[in-house]
């Protein structure tokens, strides 16, 4: 009985040990450098609870990509509101960039719909529908903010679909 028990226990330990062993996690080394195929969708988050500062001047935003907090804060302020979802979207400029589209001051309600960010050659094409709504009793500066990962380094080209 003891002669049979010892080999069974040793075999069981080897089997359990093999089941618990893990391979090193496979990482995508150089994923930032891999070429994305044309038309590949780029993930983004729409930033909310911000506003364009009153001292913003037309033409101040030469490039739609904002890469630093200092540059972002020179153009935008936070607009926190009461409630559970009232905090501005967090942005970590060490890992993320912001894509901004800022339109002229308007007294019409303006919305950005059907957003799409795709790789197009050496660029990122941001396409959207710009919908002008009813006239308002006040003026605003319509804008769109998207947060993307820094690994997508291509130049952004905004494209209005309609």
Lowest-confidence region among 7-16, 60-69, 135-144: 7-16
> Could you tell me which of 131, 118, 137, 141 has the C-alpha nearest to residue 58?
141
Mean pLDDT of the residues in the chain: 82
Strand (E) or helix (H) holding 70: helix 69-75
pLDDT > 90? residue 43: yes
pTM: 0.74
- Three-state SS for 18? helix
- pLDDT of the residue at 89: 93
Top pLDDT among 37 and 141 is at: 141
Expressed in angstroms, the distance from the first to the final Cα of the chain is 83
Top-confidence range, 69-73, 79-83, 118-122: 69-73
pLDDT > 90? residue 78: yes
Rounded CA-CA distance 101/111 in Å is 12
- pLDDT of the residue at 28: 37
């Amino acid at each position: 009985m003891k002669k049979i028990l010892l080999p069974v226990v040793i075999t069981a330990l080897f089997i359990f040990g093999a089941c618990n062993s893990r391979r090193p996690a496979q990482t995508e080394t150089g994923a930032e450098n891999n070429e994305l195929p044309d038309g590949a969708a780029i993930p983004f988050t729409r930033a909310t609870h911000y506003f364009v500062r009153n001292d913003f001047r037309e033409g101040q935003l030469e490039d739609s990509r904002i890469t630093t907090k200092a540059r972002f804060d020179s153009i935008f302020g936070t607009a926190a509101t009461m409630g559970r979802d009232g905090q501005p979207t967090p942005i970590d400029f060490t890992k993320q960039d912001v894509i901004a589209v800022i339109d002229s001051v308007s007294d019409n309600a303006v919305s950005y719909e059907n957003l799409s960010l795709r790789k197009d050659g050496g660029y990122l094409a941001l396409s959207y529908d710009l919908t002008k709504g009813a006239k308002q009793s006040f003026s605003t500066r319509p804008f769109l903010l998207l947060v993307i990962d820094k690994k997508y380094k291509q130049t952004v080209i905004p494209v209005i679909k309609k």
